[in-house]
Every structure is written in structure tokens, then in C-alpha cells.
Amino acid sequence: MKASLVAVPLIALLLALPITANAAIAPVSPLPNALVTAQQPTFKWSLGEGEFSSLIRVSRAGAVDSEGVLLQNNSSILSEEPAMSARSYTVPKSQWSFSKGTYFWQALGYTADYQQQLVMPPVKFVVPTVLKFSGVRQRVAANSASGDLQAEFVGFTTGNLDKSCIIKLTVKRGAKVVYVQTRKQSCAAGGYRAAIFMNWPNNTVPKGTPVTATLALSGGGKTVTTPVMRFKTP
């Protein structure tokens, strides 16, 4: 979802003002090439004495117009008008959740007499892949089709990808792999937890045999693994 809650007439007026490369408006956070793991980051900037904020823009591309202002196009994430006294802006979860990728942000302002617009050069930052397990546990339950007892693995995953990732269950008897199951798993941005359900309908290992199991989550060039779960076959 792209946010665009800007008061258009005011912004049009401000963008028409003369530009000044004033060093007083400068990024505080994120700084150039920073790694940002928060899906709702806070952007902070500084201004000189008597200067005001007018606009913050974030885009997936760093293209700018002739005055150095980030272009409004299909790569735009948001264009917001903060309070004039603001020196920071936190992206609401209802508007946008930052997924893995490269982004550019920019703050604009104007002088106290409104005669000059202040333009901060776009700042590049990177959101790395974030994949997490939570609440993962092993349990024994009856198979819904056969009624036989089976090992089940439940819990949740969270991520910040634009597409599904892969979850993999590996069961071992000692060093020998006795079962592998893979499937797609939601790892979408937004901080949403996706439920896990993996099962092992054992029909090869004797009941009561000590085994181990792990879950691995892969996507966006990253893999995370649960701690080893130890149990006996049902």
C-alpha cells in the first residue's frame, strides 16, 4: 500500500520555491547505506535555526527531478507532510511495511521566510532479509486420515519478503535422515505471524526410538533453523 496524504496545493507551492543546497537539513537516521530491520522505521533529520519541515519522501528508486527531489512514480512508497516543527516521522503500520530491498528517503523543508526550499539529497538504506521462528514445539496427535499417532510440529514464522519462503522439516535417527518434508510458507512483510503445521507420519522407525527434528526456513538469500527437538517416535 502506498501512502500519499499530502496537501497537494501546499506541496505544489513549496516545490515551486527556489532551491538551496543548505547543509542545515541533514539526515540523522537512517544514515547512508544503513541496515534497517524495522518494518515501520523512524526517519529523523536535522534543520537549522528557524527552518521548518515540509515533506518526507521514500522510494524504491533514487531518481530525482531537476531540483533534486525524489520523483513520484511507481517506485514511490510514501510522500507525507509532517508537522512543520517535526524532526522525525514513523511510518504507520496501516500505511506501509518495509520488505527486503533497497530504498531511498529524503526530507524537505523551507526557510523561516518561506522564500527558499531546503532539499536533503536522497539517502540510500537497505532492509535486509528478516526470518524468524517463534513458539515452535513438537507434539503427538492422531493423523486425521488414518487415526494413527504421528509427530507434529507447530509454531509460527515471521518475515519481510514479498513472496513465500520454504520451510523444511528434517527428522534424523542418529546421523541418518529418515524423513524430509518441504512446503511453501508465508514470510510476508508486515509483522504478521504465519502458523506452522508440519507432520511426520512415521511408518519406518520402531515406536519409542529416540530421534531428532529441526525446522529450517529459507528465503531472500537467508536460512534460519530451530534448535534441535529430541523425542521418541510415537
* Per-residue confidence (pLDDT) for residue 138, from 0 to 100: 97
Average pLDDT, the chain: 88
| pLDDT tens-digit readout, 81-140 | 888 889 999 988 777 788 999 999 999 999 988 888 899 999 999 999 999 999 999 999
Question: Mind listing the pLDDT tens digit for each residue in 153-173?
Answer: 999 999 999 889 999 999 999
User: What's the pTM value of the predicted model, to 2 decimals?
Assistant: 0.78
- Going from N- to C-terminal start, the domains of the chain cover 3-127, 131-232
Domains 3-127 and 131-232 share a fold: yes
Per-residue pLDDT tens for 169-199? 999 999 999 999 999 999 998 878 999 999 9
CATH no. for 131-232: 2.60.40.10
| 207-214 long-range contacts, CB within 8 A, separation 24+ | 207/232, 207/233, 207/234, 208/232, 208/233, 209/173, 209/233, 210/173, 211/171, 211/172, 211/173, 211/178, 212/171, 212/172, 213/138, 213/151, 213/153, 213/169, 213/170, 213/171, 213/172, 214/169, 214/170
**Residue 177, all three cell numbers:** 535422515
- Using an 8 Å Cβ cutoff, are 199 and 150 in contact? yes
Q: Which CATH superfamily is domain 3-127 in?
A: Immunoglobulins (2.60.40.10)
